[in-house]
Amino acid sequence: MEIHADGSWWHEGGRINREALVKLFSRILKREEDGRIWLVTPYEKVIVHVEDAPFIAVRVDRAGEPDREQTLAFLTNLGDVTLAGPDAPIRVAFDEETGEPAPYVEVRGGLEAKLARSVFYELANMAEPGPDGDDTLGVWSQGVFFPLMQEL
């Protein structure tokens, strides 16, 4: 079983095209402490090879006034909704060679969604200076500040 970087699911070399089946499988994904991702049923446990992240965040909405207490809600390609905050952090990894950002938000149980480029651009439009008055730009959600750029 594989999940490609574009969010497509594959089994034994063939793409799984039934959306309902993919959604069902996505509900029983589990991340182990060692970082491996498994499909866990009452009868078996199957390793899932994930190229990047098991989900893609395809939309972000802001609830509340644009301030520290606003809530950012992310919708994934498989219909999951996650509210960024202390239990669902936003993180941005950076390619060591190119410096290109790769943003993620936790969906559940250590499973992350990579933010689609358009979603990351929306976050960038919401960005403001960090709470310490430094040059770090980021976003607030549920009282937590999430930096969107590398430390200089």
- Looking at residue 132, its pLDDT comes to 78
Q: Residue 42 belongs to what domain range?
A: 2-50
Contact 103, 148 (CB under 8 A): yes
If asked whether residues 44 and 111 sit together in one domain, one would say: no
**Picking from 6-15, 94-103, 129-138, which range would have the lowest pLDDT averaged per residue?**
129-138
Average pLDDT of the chain to the nearest whole number: 93
For position 85, which CATH number holds? 2.30.270.10
If asked whether residues 59 and 37 sit together in one domain, one would say: no
If asked whether residues 76 and 118 sit together in one domain, one would say: yes
The helix or strand, by DSSP H or E, that contains position 120, with its residue range, turns out to be helix 117-126
Residue 125: C-alpha distances to residues 4, 90, 106 (Å): 28, 16, 21
Contact 58, 116 (CB under 8 A): yes
pTM of the model: 0.91
- Looking at residue 10, its pLDDT comes to 95
- Looking at residue 151, its pLDDT comes to 59
